[in-house]
Amino acid sequence: MNNDIRHDGARRVGQVKEVTSLANPIVKDIKALSQKKTRDETRSFIAEGLKLVIDALDLGWTIKTLVYSKAAKGKPVIEKTAARTIAAGGLVLEVSEKVMSAITRRDNPQMVAGVFEQRWMPLKTISPVSGQTWIALDRVRDPGNLGTIIRTADASGASGIILVGDCTDPFSMETVRATMGSVFAVPVVKATVAEFLAWKRAAGVNIVATHLAGAVDYRTIDYRSRPVVLLMGNEQSGLPDELASAADSLARIPQSGMADSLNLAVATGVMLFEARRHLLSLGDHA
């Protein structure tokens, strides 16, 4: 076997590149994906874990680089995933645990990570039909909330998520971790407020917004006659008047106790599964 010995802590073995140095330029490029600016410029992001990588490949996502630690070397499933990556035109790196820790920013990293091409759905291509539920999030800022909402959207059968205004990045490492792989299954859209409102008028959707001033119990709303968009406000300030006034219903989730509000991800989950309950009920009577 003809090994290519390099001066940057890398050695090529067949089609797999062994990397042990943090100074390796490829490692530096992958580490830089922790910054939104780099993710935006390269339209790339990192996903950790073998299951997530395999799920993404199965769903047709474009893999740029597969990284696995030396401890995973020789495992049949790793070799098969490496072969799929190479066949797709991606790079395969076998790295030391030190390098894997640096890439994932974890002391006890998973043995596999993948660098994937971002995928955004254009707002203009969305034409909701009856029975669909979409989520629109206004200026969601917390990566954990967004990741949990993406995961819950997947579990509840929602059709996708529209990020309105200045939202946290769905492809940040923190958000991707919180999705537990659902980032690969749920379409994500980004739009300005003006774009979202123009789309709402043209799409003929039923906008159901949660609001502190909501007068309608969320359980009594008709989620079945038209495709629904659940509009959820910013964690701190809620929905601005411009968006609240565009809603067809301002809903409230009755609460007891001392808490004056619900966590955004929890509230979104409550709304999603209520909409799903109504749609399942419709199927029972079909």
Comparing CA positions, the residue from 39, 205, 191, 22 lying closest to residue 101 is: 22
Domain boundary among 117, 142, 168: 117
What's the CA angle centered on 186, arms 34 and 247, to 5 degrees?
105
DSSP track, 228-268: EEEEE-BTTTB--HHHHTT-SEEEE----SS--S--HHHHH
Looking up tokens 């039923």, which residue turns up? 206
Q: Is the pLDDT confidence value at 61 over 50?
A: yes
Are 172 and 105 contacting, i.e. CB atoms less than 8 angstroms apart?
Answer: no
Instruction: Judge whether 85 and 64 are in contact, CB under 8 Å.
Output: no
pLDDT number for residue 255? 86
3-state DSSP assignment of residue 270: helix
Could you tell me the pLDDT band of residue 281, with boundaries at 50, 70 and 90?
confident
pTM above 0.95, yes or no: no
- 167 and 91 share one domain: no
Residues 70 and 195 in one domain: no
Residue 11's pLDDT is 52
Report whether 42 contacts 51 (CB < 8 A).
no
Residue 269 has pLDDT above 80, yes or no: yes
Nearest to 199 by CA among 164, 147, 170, 226: 164
The total of structural domains in the chain comes to 2
| CATH number of the domain bearing residue 41 | 3.30.1330.30
Across 65-85, average pLDDT: 94
Contacts of 262 (CB under 8 A, 6+ apart): 253, 255, 270
Query: pLDDT (tens digit, 9 = 90+) per residue, 176-209?
Result: 999 999 999 999 999 999 999 999 999 999 999 9
Sole residue written with tokens 């490492």: 173
Residues 108, 230, single domain; the answer is no
- Can you give the pLDDT at residue 213? 78
Are 203 and 101 contained in the same domain? no
36 has a pLDDT exceeding 70: yes
**DSSP category for residue 62:** P
pLDDT at 10 over 80: no
Mean predicted confidence (pLDDT) in 32-60: 96
Q: What is the extent of the structural domain holding 261?
A: 123-284
**138 with 111, same domain?**
no
pLDDT over threshold 50, residue 72: yes
**What was the pLDDT predicted at 151?**
98
Query: Which of 92, 117, 142 lies at the terminal end of a domain, its last residue?
Result: 117
What confidence score (pLDDT) does residue 144 get? 96
| pLDDT band with cut points at 50, 70 and 90 for residue 282 | low
